Amino acid sequence: MSCLPAGFSVSGSSSLIVNNREKGSVRVCSSIGGLQFRESNSKEIWGKTLDFSDQKGFSSLSNKSLNLEPVYAQGTLSFPKAQKKWWEKSLQPNMIEINSAQELVEYLMNAGDKLVIVDFFSPGCGGCKALHPKICQLAESNPNAIFLTVNYEDHKAMCYALHVHVLPFFRFYRGADGKVCSFSCTNATIKKFKDALAKHGTERCSLAPAKGLDEKELLALVSNDLISRDIVPLSSPQEEKVQELVGTAKSSTFSRDESKIELKEGNAMVAA
């Protein structure tokens, strides 16, 4: 809401109401360069053309005697909706974005016997962008499978600890078997993905708990403070064994400058 005093000029196509205690209220419609009343009776006031809807009471008006009260204009602003990013489009209910390594580990451990597919991608990866619509279609046609998406740019340390150096990259997990396959594919080699889905996506029943990541990968995540050590199911309970494994993992995991890691996209090297 804004207040415009007498003597103003307005451009645009807004509708305004001019209130005058002595002369009543009249409706005006602005046009570029001036204000105009809707009727044809005109008088020149401050260089602006005003058309009065009723002659009565306005016959004696002049640009010297006209005394208008402030004009109030009210408008509505609308903003366009933000465009979705390509990796946010066409997502299915069984496609879940991973926000931390802890979340990834928990999803894998709590998946039971369901097939879990981890999709590693980067916003700047052309192959990832081109493949995304087909992955969404496959997720829709396989509602019993869980698709976990990991944005490499947001989780470089986790990806390096899991030895993900080529994009797009996929890992398939199934119940007590843990990781059953991992590979990179593009639109041209999508058959690789479909074959893995057909092989490992068949219904089955297992009473054993889901394995998820293997022990070395869990320790690599622990060494980089990405997950809690409490969730690592170590084969040996001794603290010395724990320290030895963590030390080994830390020496071989994410120690380089994150901004200098190189990824392979198809057959080309791209700087992350």
As a whole number of angstroms, the distance between CA 261 and CA 161 comes to 12
| Diameter over CA atoms, the chain | 103
Phi/psi class of residue 94: alpha, beta or left (left: φ > 0; alpha: ψ in -120 to 50)? alpha
Q: CA triplet 76, 81, 83: central angle to 5 degrees?
A: 160
Dist. CA 127–CA 124, nearest whole Å:
9
Cβ–Cβ under 8 Å, residues 176 and 210: yes
* CA 121 to the chain's CA centroid: 14
3 is catalytic: no
Q: Which of 128, 136, 185, 205 is catalytic?
A: 128
Catalytic residue check, 136: no
List CB contacts of 85: < 8 A, sequence separation 6 or more.
123
Query: Do residues 127 and 170 touch, judged by C-beta distance below 8 A?
Result: no
Q: Partners of 240 in the beta sheet?
A: none
Strands 115-121 and 169-174: antiparallel
- What is the CA angle 120-122-128, rounded to 5? 75
Of 125, 159, 185, 205, which residue is the catalytic one? 125
Residues taking part in catalysis: 125, 128
